Amino acid sequence: KKVVIITGASRGFGELIAKKFQKENYQVIATMRNVDSSPSLKKLKNIDIKKLDVTIKSDIKNVVDFTIKKHGRIDILINNAGYGAMGFLEEASDEEIKYQFNVNLFGLIDCIKAVIPQMRKQKDGVIINISSIAGRAGLPFTSLYNSSKFAVEGLTESLHYELSLFGIDIKTVAPGSFRTGFHDSIIYTEKEKKDDLAGIRDELKNGIEAGIKDGPPFPFNYGNNNDVAEFVYDCSVNKKKVTNFVGRDTKIINLFIKIFGKRMFFRIIKKIWFSKILTRKKNRWCNTILKDYCLFAFF
């Protein structure tokens, strides 16, 4: 059997991706911080559940060593583990900033470094980094999350060149709006709160919470989570671009930026946020669909 390692497989996309590969007769190494957090995976054959916190290098080494010793190969690595840090940058502590990048970027890098030697030995392998539409365009109040995903995109593009020398394919899959466990893992960076930002901060948090609850309006809407699992599998077994987007909303956003450019995109986002949060005036030149969606599409 071909062997796939998946990080962050306890819920959401990671769990669905694990089930998809298991269904396709792969040997799945489903990793998670708490090995008891996904009872549904324990019931399936061809799945080894292993403890892995991507911020702990010894965990990564243990999983890779176990996989090679038991199965003799590593064909695919799916870097899915991650979370979103939201808030004003000036209110984020050094600890909060570093943890966002330790999980979303440095942990991902450590996982890649750990599997490369085996893939080079095989002269074959696929690495897929689960990114986000947040790696394409930024939004207010999400500077840490956005920058971590931009970094993943840049890292992947650069590694594409060097890993191709060894027969290793690397690419990103960037989902748009889907209702997953990601929303439950959002952390607001507020360890260095500023009193004069309290009112605006609360407004922004309320807006984010409302957007998550209500979801993007038609024609965007939340996508089908299984579509992401199917798409990730397709990217794993077929030749695809280095950067791949999944979800109707991602196509609309990319088309908008391609036609009108990011300058217009920035103007719309500023108009929406400043009118909603600061002046509370109605935005006359942006319809309700675009208004609601632009606020929350990237979460």
Q: Which token pair is 106? A: 């440095």
Which tokens in the block code for residue 194?
Answer: 């500023």
Tokens of residue 105, six digits:
């970027």
Q: What's the pTM? A: 0.87
pLDDT at residue 136, as a whole number: 87
Give the C-alpha separation, 175 to 251, whole Å: 10
From the list 131, 132, 143, 177, the catalytic residue is 131
Q: What single-letter DSSP state applies at residue 186?
A: -
Residues 6+ apart with CB under 8 A from 170: 112, 126, 127, 128, 129, 156, 159, 160, 163, 242
Q: What does the pLDDT read at residue 267?
A: 87
CA distance 236 to 204: 38
149 is catalytic: yes
Among this protein's residues, is 10 annotated catalytic? yes
Among 19, 20, 149, 171, the one annotated catalytic:
149
Return the SS3 of 165. coil
> What is the per-residue pLDDT for 200?
84
The whole-number pLDDT of residue 139 equals 81
For residue 221 the two structure tokens come to: 């809407």
**Mean pLDDT of successive 10-residue stretches along the chain, which has 299 residues:** 96 94 97 93 95 98 98 98 93 97 98 98 97 86 94 97 97 83 79 91 79 62 81 94 87 86 86 62 42 43
* Catalytic one of 26, 99, 145, 233: 145
